[in-house]
Amino acid sequence: MTIWTCATCAVEHPDTEQPPENCAICTDERQWVPASGQRWVTRDGLAAEGYRIVVRGLEPDLFAIETDHELGIGQRGLLLRTPAGNLLWEPPGFIDEHGVQAVAELGGVAAVTASHPHLTGSSIQWSQAFGGAPVYVAEADARWIRRPDPAIRLWSSSIEVLPGVRMLQLGGHFPGSDVVLWSAGADGRGAMLTGDTVMVGADLASVSVMRSFPNYIPLPERIVRRILEAVQPLEYDRIYSAFRCLETDAPAIVSRSLERYIRWVRGDEPED
């Protein structure tokens, strides 16, 4: 039996003799299947091709967990270290002994989660490597679970995953799309891990929210406003999204960016 991983989104699927016919996550309108068709990879196959896990520090108690070479969507996994245990956020779709050892030396994994179904990667394999650590999945997105496992814990609205680490359901990209608020991050000013729920722009001076980023499907005003109103009371200064970081002044940038978004979808901005 083999754990099959979709080559396009790098989300693991159940142990079976043959791979599934397709990846339901990628056939959804928010994602995509390459013109060449559905392709599956395996852990052993990726290792034979030279894939490996790389761990690097981002700030005190926050570490990037990445795959070299790039795999699937290519998100940057994050290991958030706390005195009560570590949170693995958006793990890559690959795992190896070197990566497990590096994470173990940083304190291991007490919980695993992601902002939404696209970035769950090899959550169950990482969980199993650390004694079946709970894998938190938003109840609103339960139908997108690709590899069922007893470690999965459904949640909704808000949950304190670890002391000082709170997960909040904002919706938008997916109904269960969430963020993690880390009160000790950014030297005590607070940091928010957002994945694709709130995406940092390439200019490093803006953010955006979308139903689909690769297929350019926007969100309606009511959902954008709901996200904006949900994050405005939060205390944080820094954002780590799936690929980029807003180092400081993140609340002002979020408010400015989403208010601009609303003006554009309302038609209040002049063409120029």
* Mean pLDDT of all residues in 217-230: 98
Q: What pLDDT shows up at residue 249?
A: 98
What is d(CA 41, CA 120) in angstroms, rounded to the nearest whole number?
A: 16
What is d(CA 120, CA 225) in angstroms, rounded to the nearest whole number?
A: 26
Neighbours of 138 (CB within 10 A): 25
- CATH for 2-266? 3.60.15.10
Express each pLDDT in 179-221 by its tens digit.
Answer: 999 999 999 999 999 999 999 999 999 999 999 999 999 999 9
Q: Could you tell me where the DSSP H helices lie in 7-135?
A: 24-27, 43-48, 97-105, 123-129
Domain boundaries, the chain: 2-266
153 forms beta bridges with 136
Mean pLDDT of the chain: 97
pLDDT band at 112 (very low <50, low <70, confident <90, very high): very high
Q: Is 260 exposed, middle or buried (0-12, 13-18, 19+ CB in 10 A)?
A: middle
Say which amino acid occupies 38: Q
Q: What pLDDT shows up at residue 270?
A: 86
pLDDT band at 269 (very low <50, low <70, confident <90, very high): confident
Compute the chain's Rg from CA coordinates: 18
φ, ψ of residue 68 to 5 degrees: the values are -115, 105
Q: What pLDDT shows up at residue 210?
A: 98
The more confident residue out of 15 and 82 is 82
Residue 89 near residue 180 (C-beta atoms within 8 A):
yes
Question: Is residue 105 predicted with pLDDT exceeding 80?
Answer: yes
Q: What pLDDT shows up at residue 272?
A: 82
Instruction: Quote the percentage of the chain above a pLDDT of 70.
Output: 100
pLDDT band at 234 (very low <50, low <70, confident <90, very high): very high
Q: What pLDDT shows up at residue 150?
A: 98
What is d(CA 132, CA 228) in angstroms, rounded to the nearest whole number?
A: 35
* Mean pLDDT of all residues in 142-147: 98
Express each pLDDT in 15-46 by its tens digit.
Answer: 999 999 999 999 999 999 999 999 999 999 99
The CA distances from residue 234 to 99, 138, 180, 237, 252, in Å, are 33, 20, 11, 10, 12
What is d(CA 91, CA 5) in angstroms, rounded to the nearest whole number?
A: 13
Structure tokens at 102: 């590096």
Rounded to two decimals, what is the model's pTM?
0.97
Q: What pLDDT shows up at residue 271?
A: 85
What is d(CA 184, CA 223) in angstroms, rounded to the nearest whole number?
A: 29
Express each pLDDT in 39-78 by its tens digit.
Answer: 999 999 999 999 999 999 999 999 999 999 999 999 999 9
The CA distances from residue 115 to 35, 51, 78, 218, 227, in Å, are 27, 24, 12, 18, 14
- Which is it for the CA torsion 151, 195, 252, 250, positive or negative? positive
